[in-house]
A = this chain, B = another copy of it.
Amino acid sequence: MEADMNTETRGILESVRNGTLSVDEALEKLKAQPFADIGFAKVDLHRAIRQGVPEVVYAAGKTVDQILKILETMEENAQGNILITRLEKEPADQIGKVRKITYDANARIADTGTMPKPNGIGKIVVATGGTSDIPVAEEAALTAAFLGNEVVRLYDVGVAGLHRLLSQKEEIMRASVIIAIAGMEGALASVVAGLADCPVIAVPTSVGYGASFQGLSALLSMLNSCASGVSVVNIDNGFGAGYLASMINHMEAKK
């Protein structure tokens, strides 16, 4: 985006030299913004054009009216493939009455477009410690799928029953990126990273009770992982993990 801007700046300067642009017009253009200002939000309008990926709207803390206005603004600017995260069932139903969305209540994700074909380097493995971590895992998995990745789900492979995890060693060995999702003691990330040779994105979840302190235990555990190649995102941040995993899984396309 910034690189484009540099090119654009040169163009503006050349127009000024050519006299096809006045100084005031140039000043105005240099301030032009790649987003639409609708008061309560500044909607990014360049991302899809630049990267061919769906736009993302974070629904938590926004009213249905605000979400609809953002969707409308995006579509007026020709952005049809939009991902809406952290969207609860009730607002999703209300939005569904007005425009066509595909909604997954478990992952709390909606999208307005069509699922792309996977075009990454390899597969992204999404693993969870338990069954209760699945909503976060689905947020990660659906995000990755929307961004053009093949996703392999390994659910309920927590370290307390190591044979469950070890039986999936081949999937783990073959992964391009692994998203390790766990609450409670959060040990899954370390064990998986010890088995694999690829980047492991650890997602602590707020699953648990007592001294799990809403995910703090898993968060600290993952940050302290002795295994190399592990990094951590926010508690329950399935979207962030899916997005980053896709970025890494598309590395070779870059440059």
Contact = CB atoms under 8 A, between A and B. Distances in A.
A224 interface: yes
A185 B176 contact: no
A79 interface: no
A212 B228 contact: no
Interface stretch (A22-30, A89-97, A110-118): A22-30
A139 to B, nearest CB: 12
Nearest to A255: B122
B155 A39 contact: yes
A160 B223 contact: no
Contact of A13 (B23, B170, B193, B209): B23
Given A199-B248, A252-B251, A131 B220 contact: no
A121 interface: yes
Given A13-B26, A191-B191, A224 B232 contact: no
Given A156-B41, A157-B42, A228 B56 contact: yes
Interface residues of A, number: 112
A81 interface: no
A3 B27 CA distance: 14
Interface string A162-194: 111001011011001000000111110011011
User: Which 6 interchain pairs have the tightest Cβ spacing?
Assistant: A61-B132, A210-B235, A187-B187, A231-B231, A160-B227, A217-B220
27 contacts: A1-B163, A3-B173, A33-B167, A35-B164, A39-B155, A40-B155, A51-B197, A60-B132, A61-B207, A62-B132, A66-B131, A159-B191, A159-B227, A160-B226, A161-B194, A184-B224, A186-B221, A209-B234, A210-B235, A211-B219, A211-B223, A211-B234, A211-B235, A212-B220, A212-B224, A213-B220, A217-B224
Interface of A: 1-3, 6, 9-10, 13-14, 16-17, 19, 23, 26-27, 30-31, 33-35, 39-42, 44, 51, 56, 60-62, 66, 121-122, 129-132, 134, 155-164, 167, 169-170, 172-173, 176, 183-187, 190-191, 193-199, 201, 204, 206-237, 240-241, 243-244, 247-249, 251-252, 254-255
